[in-house]
Chains A and B, each alone.
Chain A
């Protein structure tokens, strides 16, 4: 049985709820409320992982989100696995499995540790300087080796069994951080009638004050933690206030838009979590934001400052005062400021051995006096020059500092220890402030960056605003909040606060050593193994800006994003270059504040909900009849209807023969439909289409081609004149939304004088298109009262009709070249319409056909599909559709662009037909076309845009765009494939019924 390091009573854990968990395969126990770090420390476990580059053993350094070392894989190998989880934040749950990362075969003995031995040869940026010769080894050896050593934890390999959610939140005041200043702010805000939200990333409020038992800190004559505890209880009863625990603000964007991750299940056992919400992303718009995000302690930078057992002093205090865990039996505290003395006092009170090493010469703080009174040994004006202990710190060596503090002098003294607490002062957490666009200022006195100007409605309070002493925190929080919230109700005006004041401070970014820097390893970025040496090397090599140094040395690029390292990197740069730190600026603080799970960012929008699926009213019928579907934009369109084991080719051959021989039916509901009304509707169409519209008779239909302003074909479709001032435009399926937007744009911004109103009616109507020689017979059955005589109901005309008392619109239009009708009916009757058509057509072998057959049939007729036969570089002239481009009209969208030097070129790529010399051979769509494949470079003349085997012609046909194609008719060209070359002849692009006789057949 290992020693129990939890010897101290604490009210913050539920001692009745003992929890077992596994770490590296071994079973341990902790209590409900423990983090993995506190639970491991209570079992005497310090060694957690191996560092990225040198594979040095590393332990727990902190108690929060700034942790660089203690990151583990949790959830075993199953679907719950998660890499790079901070042990300092992960709460334990029954059955939790955690393991060390970046080590093999084990964290105790890691082969990668060899990197530490060759570390002299691999300084920062070494990889830029080597692995270049011989070149071929880069691919076969060097790069694979670099890649192999990449990464820390392991990616999951199974889909995520948990769910995520999004929620929007609007509030008057958002307070980020539930420490003492956040609690006071929340209380003031709520008391003044603001709809207030308080967000805190821990499972309980109170920050570091809630476990502050030091009698030097008093509020209204009570110990500060006691006072705060009462305030939190009061807070929970307040109106207008929502408190969110385990919620971490990830990003603070402009316009007070914040993202916060609420963890709902990460602290629960796996069997409680299956198919439940794991995390929720709150998308917050706050009228006002109060940042009370606190400060984190800085480490000290000295030789071998990275061993397991080296921890931040204030974290050691939290482990003992909050979690009741001692981090060692022989504690040494190494500091440059007074706050670490609180840790010394705490440890001493619990009877734990502690000595203090202080780089300062003295301090008159009451904390120091209390420490002295307790009989704790203090080594003033000393610095640590080395440490020992491979898997856990065993001892340190200290030396006296020289008079000016730039060197160490005298004899080395060795001190034994199993825990070293370090404190280099405090860094305000200004991440969110700067993310929002705020600029920082530098305070020389204690070398901190603080919020300066802001561009949105927000303030920072407490230690993130540079107030480190309790009385300042409280006084300034109250006054700032009163001012910011124009608050009148204040309970706090008469608070009496007493606390120790920091008197002497001394900041040395890189502590002096008796050895040359080159022989030491003073770590800054513990995860990425960058040292003060690396910073200096980078500067020597000309990397002067902080961004360059960061990138060259990888400082601050680990999973902690440099929360501990960045200030020291800046400090060392400023000391080395002899420039003021304030003038250096910082690296950019980028969201998220702590790493944010992809699943949380995506929320419910996964799987079925990835994108909406648009289905026609007849969708279920198609599905019941075994249709295969094609995605067209967001629509599902029936692609083909295989029968009795047919493949697509066979089905399409059958469908297209049936359509030409008797009758076929297509679901055309997905085509975009825009209802156009107004006295200027005709003029509007004149301007948006290339052809003329004024003379289109009522009840007549016309095909239109729409260009972009650059002259290239944009969309096409048939428009019907329903009345004097009323048209129905159809668009391509994929283009519908864009066409409407574009038309609205012109209407509202360029031609506001036009009386035209556009309404999208795509979803309002279902469309069944019946084609083939028997189409008329079927229509007659469906609409027995309607006159289908070709003279009264000719091609390109429209009639209103009724089916069982339901209004229908029938357009006699054709995309197949066959005699053909499109029946439009209100969507809810779409399926009935379809079924009636099928019934009526039964005797004519009416055959449902999908988009593939539709494509084939129209290709036989040489009708283009915008987006397939055009690609944004084709003009109507290129498509040999000169007939549709009005020469008379003064203007239409894109007209001017047709008269530029390049668009007028005679030898542009033009639409042609292609016939393969072997009529059985089908060209591949996308295949390139050449004249000569021997001459290098091969000149590509164009490509195959559409290609099919036509059962009606019994040969392969293709549409293509070919350079100067208009003039190449009859010429032989080549289609070079990977393994063969196909001989083709340029033909007319109308392959079938070029006289349009079948339209009236």
Chain B
């Protein structure tokens, strides 16, 4: 058993200058065969492995990661966590995740710094108001703690927002989910990795998948840069690279991988103590526990795997930020970066079996996957272990693109993400 993390263990270890801490996870070579292999060592993949081991007693499993764990979108996103989605299927999925977030630090004995500082979504035109009210009513009936705020209440909850009626797109109100918030992204990947590793899961970094071996319509294993690994179950959680893996298996997915950018300011003393999202003028902002303003920018419209986007997107985002927060004009951008987000036509994810036996995909999270990490892992683990979806992810199947039964958060609500 690993050392338990606590203040006691920190004090104890301080006497030996912290030289006796164990590895948070091992660095094993791949075995010849596993019961299941998870492709992709991001938060979702590691959570999947964690719950496979914990809830489904599948311990002879591996997570293969081409780079370093948590190095993709897990470590690049703006860490917004919320569950105030419109459709029942989405609300069920994301609120399942939110409930797991609420106990996650304790569950994995790793402080993921889940900060329930609330998420506000602003309305800037009359249709925004209708859409957000519609969502708030749906949330309430689904047991999700979202409330509608008037412009005055928005101002009261976050005084630095410019709620003047004279701005180009005045704030006409907003919604607030208090249980929503942010978490420390790296800690989620590391914490799940440590937890999974402790149960025997092999986390294999710098191991890139090169091919998927099939016998007819059944998988037999994966070719990797560290050799062939035999397995009957492959769970692909490769985010922006999902299509690349799908192509190896000879299937196509309804995905496009696009650049999504984000940026942080220099750190300053606390100035904004909630998360504010505005879809209409496209500005998302929160403040990290280091004091940086964390700002989400938009996606470019073209496919790219470069992890870089165009400057226009950053400029447009900051333009919106200054419209809503003119006081930030003299703040400075410290760092900007890009990730690759895999986007489904209905802006909802896929957590599904495929036509190939033993091949499962968890993808299509677009710009909003981080918030779902624990729920996504739990439900994907269920799907892999039972070869059947859990009722909470049943709607997120691949067949919906054939039948037309989409979970259209994109078309349905002004604020999909």
Find out whether the CB atom of A595 lies under 8 angstroms from the CB atom of B88.
no
Cβ contacts under 8 Å, A129 to chain B: 5-6, 9-10, 110-111
Q: Closest A-chain residue to B203, C-beta based? A: A542
Question: CA separation between A603 and B169, bound complex, in Å?
Answer: 19
Chain B residues 79 to 96 lying within 8 A of chain A, measured CB to CB, are 88
Cβ contacts under 8 Å, B402 to chain A: 900
Q: Which of A123, A257, A588 gathers the greatest number of chain B CB atoms within 10 Å?
A: A123
Find out whether the CB atom of A592 lies under 8 angstroms from the CB atom of B336.
yes
Cβ contacts under 8 Å, A595 to chain B: 265-266, 332-334
Cβ contacts under 8 Å, B129 to chain A: 925-926
Chain B residues 315 to 350 lying within 8 A of chain A, measured CB to CB, are 315, 318-323, 326-337, 345
A344: interface (CB < 8 Å):
no
B251: interface (CB < 8 Å):
no
B1: interface (CB < 8 Å):
no
B268: interface (CB < 8 Å):
yes
Q: From residue A137, how far is it (CB to closest CB) to chain B in Å?
A: 11
A752: interface (CB < 8 Å):
no
Q: Is the interface of A mostly helix, strand, loop or mixed?
A: loop
Cβ contacts under 8 Å, A792 to chain B: none
Q: Closest B-chain residue to A930, C-beta based? A: B141
Q: From residue A555, how far is it (CB to closest CB) to chain B in Å?
A: 13
The 8 A CB mask of A509-533 against B (1 = contact, 0 = none) is 0000000111100000000000001
Cβ contacts under 8 Å, A123 to chain B: 10, 14, 18
Question: CA separation between A613 and B166, bound complex, in Å?
Answer: 13
Q: Which of B266, B287, B335 gathers the greatest number of chain A CB atoms within 10 Å?
A: B266
Find out whether the CB atom of A925 lies under 8 angstroms from the CB atom of B133.
yes
Question: CA separation between A547 and B103, bound complex, in Å?
Answer: 28
The 8 A CB mask of B180-201 against A (1 = contact, 0 = none) is 0000101100110000000000
Find out whether the CB atom of B311 lies under 8 angstroms from the CB atom of A253.
yes
- Of the listed stretches B119-127, B213-221, B365-373, B380-388, chain A binds B119-127
Q: From residue A253, how far is it (CB to closest CB) to chain B in Å?
A: 6
Chain A residues 93 to 136 lying within 8 A of chain B, measured CB to CB, are 120-123, 126-133, 135
Which single member of B67, B136, B327 contacts A155 (CB below 8 Å)?
B327
A1: interface (CB < 8 Å):
no
Q: Closest A-chain residue to B184, C-beta based? A: A128
How many chain B residues sit at the interface, stated as a range, is: 35 or more
Cβ contacts under 8 Å, B327 to chain A: 155-160
Q: From residue B102, how far is it (CB to closest CB) to chain A in Å?
A: 9
Find out whether the CB atom of B5 lies under 8 angstroms from the CB atom of A254.
no
How many chain A residues sit at the interface, stated as a range, is: 35 or more
Q: Closest B-chain residue to A597, C-beta based? A: B332
Q: From residue B396, how far is it (CB to closest CB) to chain A in Å?
A: 15
Chain A residues 684 to 727 lying within 8 A of chain B, measured CB to CB, are 710-712
Question: CA separation between A132 and B141, bound complex, in Å?
Answer: 32
B308: interface (CB < 8 Å):
yes
Find out whether the CB atom of B268 lies under 8 angstroms from the CB atom of A901.
no
A377: interface (CB < 8 Å):
no
Cβ contacts under 8 Å, A533 to chain B: 17-18
Cβ contacts under 8 Å, B130 to chain A: 868, 925-926, 945
A25: interface (CB < 8 Å):
no
Question: CA separation between A160 and B331, bound complex, in Å?
Answer: 10
Find out whether the CB atom of B141 lies under 8 angstroms from the CB atom of A940.
yes
Cβ contacts under 8 Å, A610 to chain B: 167-169, 281, 319-320, 323
Which single member of B26, B290, B333, B412 contacts A601 (CB below 8 Å)?
B333
Find out whether the CB atom of A151 lies under 8 angstroms from the CB atom of B270.
yes
A147: interface (CB < 8 Å):
yes
Question: CA separation between A872 and B9, bound complex, in Å?
Answer: 55
Cβ contacts under 8 Å, A52 to chain B: 267
A541: interface (CB < 8 Å):
yes
Q: Closest B-chain residue to A606, C-beta based? A: B322
- Of the listed stretches B30-38, B149-157, B403-411, chain A binds B403-411
Find out whether the CB atom of A518 lies under 8 angstroms from the CB atom of B17.
yes
Find out whether the CB atom of B335 lies under 8 angstroms from the CB atom of A590.
yes
Question: CA separation between A545 and B193, bound complex, in Å?
Answer: 15
Find out whether the CB atom of A152 lies under 8 angstroms from the CB atom of B266.
yes
Cβ contacts under 8 Å, B11 to chain A: 121
Which single member of A151, A155, A873, A943 contacts B328 (CB below 8 Å)?
A155
The 8 A CB mask of A855-881 against B (1 = contact, 0 = none) is 000000000000110011100000000
Q: A541-B23, A868-B127 are in contact. Are A84 and B266 (CB under 8 A)?
A: yes
A458: interface (CB < 8 Å):
no
Question: CA separation between A608 and B171, bound complex, in Å?
Answer: 16
Question: CA separation between A979 and B299, bound complex, in Å?
Answer: 40
Q: From residue B1, how far is it (CB to closest CB) to chain A in Å?
A: 15
Interface residues of B (CB under 8 A from A): 5-7, 9-11, 14, 16-19, 21-27, 67-68, 71, 75, 88, 103, 105-106, 109-111, 113, 115-116, 124-127, 129-138, 140-143, 160, 167-169, 184, 186-187, 190-191, 205, 265-271, 273, 281, 287-291, 308, 310-311, 314-315, 318-323, 326-337, 345, 400, 402-406, 408, 410-413
Q: Sample 21 A-B pairs with CB under 8 A, ordered by A number.
A: A52-B267, A132-B105, A135-B105, A153-B269, A154-B271, A251-B311, A254-B308, A537-B21, A548-B68, A559-B266, A588-B337, A592-B334, A592-B335, A592-B336, A595-B265, A598-B332, A599-B329, A872-B410, A902-B405, A937-B142, A938-B142
**Assuming A253-B311, A542-B24, what are 5 further A-B pairs, CB within 8 angstroms?**
A128-B5, A259-B311, A548-B68, A926-B135, A978-B140
